[in-house]
């Protein structure tokens, strides 16, 4: 039996993808099950060419506009891959005006790591990027992925404040920024965030932290 299985289901009359989790399972187990979907041409993808193309052939490319706050595992691995200290990494690759209000958003439009429409840090990209599919998901699956990704991003914010890489939330934040700051603060004391703070790799993070009781 696999730790995580992806299946096709239906909810409120609409088809979608779901996942079954067999504990103990980790975030890495979920990623291992999720990654093949990027190359799966049998599933519906709203923005793909002919609605069924490979994700790498996407003409829409969410990398051009996405609001990416990396999860902490990715943040650490990105800095390591680039050979930069955290303070230099933050200054060179994150949006200055967002840092001033306490947010670590990668420089966007397009993402600073996009080269010739290809992600230049693909092996260490953030969970927000890894999990995104323009494919309908069943409700519980969507909520689980949302919770994992936000917990990882909140852990990055907690870590960044602890290390003095960003200030506490300050004036000048847009309404959209305040929405993000509010969500990050909502998650910051959760067991999921604590698991990211303690983890070196996704294999260190159990999915049980994110499952409903």
Q: Where residue 24 falls among pLDDT bands split at 50, 70, 90?
A: very high
What is the predicted pLDDT for the residue at 176? Answer: 80
- Give CA–CA dist 31/36, Å, rounded: 9
Q: What would the pLDDT profile of 79-124 be if each residue is shown by its tens digit? A: 999 999 999 999 999 999 999 888 999 999 899 999 888 889 999 9
What is the predicted pLDDT for the residue at 131? Answer: 94
- Give CA–CA dist 11/43, Å, rounded: 16
Average pLDDT, the chain: 90
The answer to whether residues 176 and 97 touch, using CB atoms and an 8 Å cutoff, is no
> In what helix (H) or strand (E) does residue 34 lie, and over which residues does it extend?
helix 27-34
Distances (CA, A) of 209 to 4, 164, 194: 15, 27, 9
Q: What would the pLDDT profile of 129-143 be if each residue is shown by its tens digit? A: 999 988 899 999 999
Whole-model pTM: value is: 0.92
Per-residue pLDDT averaged across 2-12, rounded? Answer: 93
What is the predicted pLDDT for the residue at 59? Answer: 66
Q: Where residue 55 falls among pLDDT bands split at 50, 70, 90?
A: confident
Per-residue pLDDT averaged across 7-22, rounded? Answer: 92
Per-residue pLDDT averaged across 147-174, rounded? Answer: 89
What is the predicted pLDDT for the residue at 184? Answer: 81
- Whether pLDDT at 153 is above 60: yes
Q: What would the pLDDT profile of 168-210 be if each residue is shown by its tens digit? A: 766 777 888 888 888 888 888 899 999 999 999 999 999 999 9
> In what helix (H) or strand (E) does residue 8 lie, and over which residues does it extend?
strand 4-11
- Whether pLDDT at 4 is above 80: yes
- Whether pLDDT at 72 is above 90: yes
| Residue 10 token pair | 């239906």
């Amino acid at each position: 039996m696999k730790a995580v299985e992806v299946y096709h289901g239906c909810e409120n009359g609409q088809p979608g993808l779901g996942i079954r989790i067999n504990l103990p399972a980790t975030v890495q187990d979920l990623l291992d099950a999720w990654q093949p979907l990027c190359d799966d041409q049998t599933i519906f993808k709203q923005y793909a060419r002919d609605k069924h193309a490979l994700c790498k052939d996407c003409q829409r490319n969410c990398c051009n506009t996405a609001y990416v706050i990396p999860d902490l595992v990715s943040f650490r691995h990105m800095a390591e891959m680039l050979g930069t200290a955290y303070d230099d990494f933050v200054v060179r690759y994150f949006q200055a005006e967002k840092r001033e209000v306490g947010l670590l958003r990668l420089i966007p439009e397009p993402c600073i790591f996009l080269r010739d429409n290809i992600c230049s840090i693909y092996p260490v990209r953030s969970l927000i990027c890894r999990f995104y599919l323009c494919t309908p998901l069943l409700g519980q699956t969507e909520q689980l992925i949302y919770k994992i990704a936000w917990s990882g991003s909140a852990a990055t914010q907690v870590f960044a404040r602890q290390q003095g890489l960003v200030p506490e939330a300050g004036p000048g934040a847009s309404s959209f920024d305040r929405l993000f700051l509010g969500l990050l603060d909502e998650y910051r004391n959760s067991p999921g965030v604590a698991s990211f703070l303690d983890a070196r790799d996704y294999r260190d993070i159990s999915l049980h932290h994110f499952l409903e009781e």
